Amino acid sequence: MAEALELGGYEVIGRLAVGGMAEVYQARARPTTQRSPGEPEEVVLKRLHPSFRADAAYVKSFVDEAKLTVRLRHPNIVRTFRLFKAGPDYLMVQELVSGRTLAFMQGLLMKVGTSMPPEASCYIAWCVLKALDYIHRAKVGENGANIVHRDVNPTNILLGVQGDVKLTDFGVAEVDGVMAGEAGALRGTVAYMSPEQVLGQSVDARSDLYAVGVILWELFANRRLYGTEQGGEAELMLRVRDARAPLLSSLNLGMPDYAVQVVRKALFADRTRRYQTAAEFIKALEVLAQRAGWPLSVEALRPLLGG
């Protein structure tokens, strides 16, 4: 039997994902491994891809992400316990969330022709907004800078088997004076970018809120808002720039009128007409849930959890 792979004192159980700059593993701490306070035995190890070890820009980006996320403590954000270097490897130890990404669940539901229950959609968006409200209010660095996630999309939202909803992957986050990419560079997932983001303009908290609006539209409609099936990425970028989202009421979904209004406000091209804060968007969803009789609790996810 081949010897189990070990990284920095952790036994690798299996690889979970490979991204643009990192590999993600499920791992278990060895009995002799020094763990951080509160760190469980089974964790996620995020490793900077070996091909980027000698690239100072990638190393800095990886280290910056870890330094940022290790400070964030919120029930709707995947926790980072520590960053360390083991031999040539840069490693981040993170919370293991047993479950699936929202993207996986969306794909599964679309494949079988079943819609996400509207109460589940509302609750998932509400949880993500709770996480964004926390990070947008957080002040980091010596200058007390604000955080913009910049890549809120279904792949970066985890749904735990117990009903947890957690935002992850701050790899392209922007923190004034602390973390930033090249001016005008596209960082994020195009189909969930705001118009200002796809144009390479400055972004702020309202860009993250726009992404939640796209996600909520897709969950309610059970289809992609800005797919890549027509004309490739260049055409996709034009559609995102123009922000021409069909009203949910035009899709004959039987959605409550107030749900149509809530999503419409989130998706204005002009950011001054959108929700200005996550707290404002949260309040709108709370009013919607109250009017529609939807629970804003894990009970909303029971149809997905099999309970």
Per the listing, tokens 């149809």 go with 303
**What is the C-alpha separation between 242 and 269, in angstroms, rounded?**
7
Catalytic residue among 151, 164, 169, 208: 151
Q: What is the pLDDT of residue 140?
A: 74
Q: In CATH terms, is domain 99-305 a member of 3.40.50.620?
A: no
What is the fold, at CATH topology level, of the domain defined by 6-94? Answer: Phosphorylase Kinase; domain 1 (3.30.200)
**What is the C-alpha separation between 270 and 250, in angstroms, rounded?**
22
Return the percent helix, strand and coil in the chain, to nearest 5.
40, 20, 40
Which stretches of the chain are assigned E, i.e. beta strand?
Answer: 6-7, 10-18, 22-29, 42-48, 80-86, 89-94, 99-101, 147-148, 157-160, 165-167, 174-175
**Contact present, 106 and 116 (Cβ < 8 Å):** yes
DSSP string, 39-63: --SEEEEEEE-GGGTT-HHHHHHHH
**Contact present, 275 and 265 (Cβ < 8 Å):** yes
Q: What is the pLDDT of residue 143?
A: 65
Q: What is the pLDDT of residue 104?
A: 94
**What is the C-alpha separation between 47 and 53, in angstroms, rounded?**
10
Told to judge if 151 belongs to the known catalytic residues of this protein, a careful annotator would answer yes
**What is the C-alpha separation between 168 and 151, in angstroms, rounded?**
9
pLDDT per residue as tens, the chain (307 positions): 345 688 999 999 999 988 878 999 999 999 999 899 999 999 999 999 999 999 999 999 999 999 999 999 999 999 999 999 999 999 999 999 999 999 999 999 988 888 899 999 999 999 999 999 999 999 776 666 789 999 999 999 999 999 999 999 998 898 864 545 444 455 678 999 999 999 989 899 999 999 999 999 999 999 999 875 566 777 888 888 888 889 999 987 889 999 999 999 999 999 999 999 999 999 999 999 999 999 999 999 988 876 5
Helix, strand, or coil here: 89? strand
Q: Is the pTM of this model over 0.85?
A: yes
Q: What is the pLDDT of residue 226?
A: 86
In angstroms and rounded to an integer, the radius of gyration of the C-alpha atoms of the chain is 20
For residue 205, the surrounding DSSP H or E stretch is helix 205-221
Helix, strand, or coil here: 100? strand
- Domains of the chain: which residue ranges? 6-94, 99-305
